[in-house]
A and B are shown apart, each in its own frame.
Chain A
Amino acid sequence: MGHLTYLGVLAGCLVAALWLEPVLRVNVLRRWRRLLLTLLPVILLFGLWDLAAVAAGHWSFDPAQVSGVRLPGGLPLEEVLFFAVVPACAILGFEATRAVLRRPAGDEAAADEERP
């Protein structure tokens, strides 16, 4: 059970956010290419930060509470999943908020008129 702690937290994040896709129809998963293109630089840059932080000893992971799958560089699989899950959840929340509040985010078709 212990090895699943971190994966369980990530699953919890997904459960908390994924319902927005069908219920508020935020269409984030439907725009999966845009989502993947967003996640790519995030995973790369924050993965590098993570590697540097582990190398510098800023933080470490309890081997008893991660799956044990390690990626090249030694990061636990969960860390890279974290950098995909958290941004995806943030985007789901962002799209839900903008749709409910009907406020612009800057990527609307007529985005040239600037109104915060």
Chain B
Amino acid sequence: MATVRDVIPPFQLLQPSSLEEAVELVADRRDDAWIIAGGMDSLDWLKDRTKRTEAIIDLSQVDELRGVRELDGGLEIGAMTTLTDVAESPLVRERFGLLAEAASLVASPQIRHQGTLGGNVSQDTRCWYYRSGWTCYRAGGNTCYADTPSAINREHAILHASRCVAVSPSDTAPPLVALDAQMVIRRGERERVVEAADYFVGPDLDIMRMTVLEPGDLLTAIRIPSTWSGARFYFEKVRDREVWDFPLVNVASAIRESGGRIEDARVVVGAVAARPLRLTAVEQGLAGQLLNAQTIARAGEVAVEGARPLRYNGYKVPLMRNLVQRAVRGGPLPASA
């Protein structure tokens, strides 16, 4: 549990007032500055003194990074757009309702008023060993404290763990991956666009990072192409309390149907692995199938193939299976199913 102390250790505070100024600062100070958007994740690290920084680049004054715009039939959402603004945006609600739904289920009202979409997809993991300052793999050490015989690992990974068993805690990441969103990243003059599915990094690729962002990079916007507009969407988040809590498991799907038959599908699950997991085997199994009880059951089984629960998170396997089935069906399963 957090310990209340007097003040955050001092740091230098840099407040760019325009996007260009921000990009320049982020590049110049790539070695010693920490970028904050809403600051909901960052300030706790600093208060707990688990991580320290010489300088903070605070993006709060950069208005260009806020807002939802139409772009080529899709949408472009500024990285600093608050989760409340994403959840309430008529454009997002009309075209990509599952993203609005996911944003509205993050944490608490006050946190949604301050937390941003860019921050939500770039936040660090909640593994409490790691956040308590244990020198685990993710912190640069050589062990995982959450995967020992006595470890308390109820919230941890059931799939694709590689030494580290921490999970992606984001609620908005699975919908963005399902919608084939793209992350717009600036480094100096150069802009690159990364597919949402590739934005998130597992421990097999880099055990100390959650995203592809490197020092000097700034996530400026998230683009959602028109591809899935009009599809049938589903989002569900399961957590202990109906407010504040991170997901135990969440699921996002986008499905196109024609005459009772599934044409194409995206199914993405969060909080079961270090990154939001796109279930390509499930998607391939669904394509061309009739939407019936058998198809739904099969999708759930394929989803959890290869799951390796730890001591205390075995419940995540049936939870994930059921959530995937609901996502395919578009709602709760009939009692008999």
Is B one of A's binding partners? no
Residues of chain B touching chain A, judged by Cβ–Cβ distance below 8 Å, are: none
